[in-house]
Amino acid sequence: MGPDFVLMSDPVAPFDHMEAMTVGRELGKLGFLWYEEPIHDYDMYGYKQLADALDIAVAACEWNAGKYFTAAQFIQARAADIIRSDPSWKGGFTGFLKTAHLCEAYGMNCEVHAGCTPLMDVANLHAACAIKNCRYLELSIEEDSFGLMAGVSPDEDGLVTAPTDLGLGVELEWDTLRSSAVAEL
C-alpha cells in the first residue's frame, strides 16, 4: 500500500470505554486518520471522553436513532470529531443534508458511509458530491448487482465519478428485480 495510503479503523462497537481508549491511542500512534464506532453510537458520554482524550479523530453517529437530531446533540457536545451519515440512516437526502450542514456550521466533516447495496452506494455518492465537508466515500464490495446495471467503481487511483443521467443516473435490470420479488404491486 505504501506510506501515503490512508487508513481508518471501524471496529463496529466491540469495546468498553477503557479498551476503546487503549486501541484509540495505539491507532493514533500508527497514524490512522480516524477511529470510527469503537463503542455503541448511543453512548454519547463515552464518545465525549474519547474525543477529548485521543489525538486521532473519533467518528460517530453512523447508525444511531434520532436521525439528524441525535447528530446535532453529538455535534453540540463535541462528542465526536467526524459525523458519519448517509441518506438511508438520516431521513433521506433532506435529513442527510441537514446533518452535513450542521457539521459544516461547526467546522466538522460529515463523512458518508457504505450504503450496503450498489444502489445505495450510488445514492451516497450523489449525497457526498452535494456537500463540501466530505473527503471520503465508503463503498461496499458486492458480488450481487442487486438489479443495478452499473454501480460505483473506483478507478485505478481510488476515485469515483457520479453518474450524470437523470435521477440517480443508473439503469436497473428489471428482469433481475422481478425475479427476486416476493410480490409485484
Domain-located, residue 128: yes
Domain-located, residue 87: yes
Confidence of residue 149 (pLDDT cuts 50, 70, 90): low
Distance CA 151, CA 156 (A): 16
Among candidates 100, 99, 56, 105, which has minimal Cα distance to 81? 56
Task: Show the cell assigned to 79.
Answer: 462528542
Report the range of poorest mean pLDDT among 4-8, 67-71, 142-146, 154-158: 142-146
The total number of structural domains in the chain stands at 1
Query: Residue 153 pLDDT > 90, yes or no?
Result: no
Q: What residues make up the domain containing 105?
A: 8-146
Confidence of residue 147 (pLDDT cuts 50, 70, 90): low
The pLDDT assigned to 116 comes to 79
Distance CA 179, CA 155 (A): 31
Domain-located, residue 166: no
Query: Residue 107 pLDDT > 90, yes or no?
Result: yes
39-62 pLDDT per residue, tens:
999 999 999 999 999 999 999 998
